Amino acid sequence: MKTQYYTATSLDGYIADANNSLEWLFQFGDPEDGSYPSFIQEVGAIAMGSTTYEWILNHDSPDNPNANPAQPAWSYTQPAWVFTTRTLPAIPGADIRFVKGDVRPVYEEMRAIAQDKNIWVVGGGDLAGQFYDHGLLDEIIVTIASVTLGSGAPLLPRQITTPPLKLVSATTYGTAFVELRYTVQRSADEV
């Protein structure tokens, strides 16, 4: 079982644009062409921040005129924990738990429910950073798209220098993406 931050980023390191939108990413088409289908099969629990959750609500809601009518409002079968300090609307039929505060007690609950499957930290970068800060992040899988955004939500707003992340693979997908997989190494006093 691993806790994985799996995301896409622009070449200049932003996971969402200055308006917290992912529209820039959808010009590349279906993620089925990458590692996502095999990745999601190994996920037993999902963690996401409130901005990511709200984007899904606004983008995939049947009330949104730009929403894909073939796409359900909630596409995950795994239970999800949404970290928020605000009251957000639930999605009928979805296993979503709204939580706040320290990620550590929530992580223990997620581990128990995920059993031997992985925990996916969907986003944002600060939430992934909180898992990292507490030694709970095992792997970072980032797909870099061939665009620059200039500003927006940063990939991972943390300084990780000693020990550095360990690159374990680099895979290209088409002419627009490269996926990098990193193991989060621990310093001797963290092990």
Tell me the average pLDDT across 5-22. 95
Convert the pLDDT of each residue in 43-80 to its tens digit.
Answer: 999 999 999 999 888 876 555 555 555 555 688 999 99
DSSP class of residue 27 equals T
DSSP class of residue 65 equals T
Distance CA 94, CA 150 (A): 35
Tell me the average pLDDT across 161-185. 95
Structure tokens at 72: 């359900």
- Please report the sign of the dihedral spanned by the C-alpha atoms of residue 161, residue 165, residue 167, residue 171: negative
Domains of the chain: 67-150 (3.40.430.10)
Do the beta carbons of residue 80 and residue 49 sit within 8 Å? no
Residue 17 is predicted with a pLDDT of: 95
Going by C-alpha positions, the residue among 18, 85, 96, 30 that lies closest to residue 57 is 96
The burial class, CB within 10 Å (0-12 / 13-18 / 19+), for 100 is exposed
3-class DSSP state of 155? coil
pTM: 0.91
Residue 85 is predicted with a pLDDT of: 95
Distance CA 64, CA 20 (A): 16
Distance CA 11, CA 95 (A): 34
Going by C-alpha positions, the residue among 140, 123, 148, 177 that lies closest to residue 10 is 148
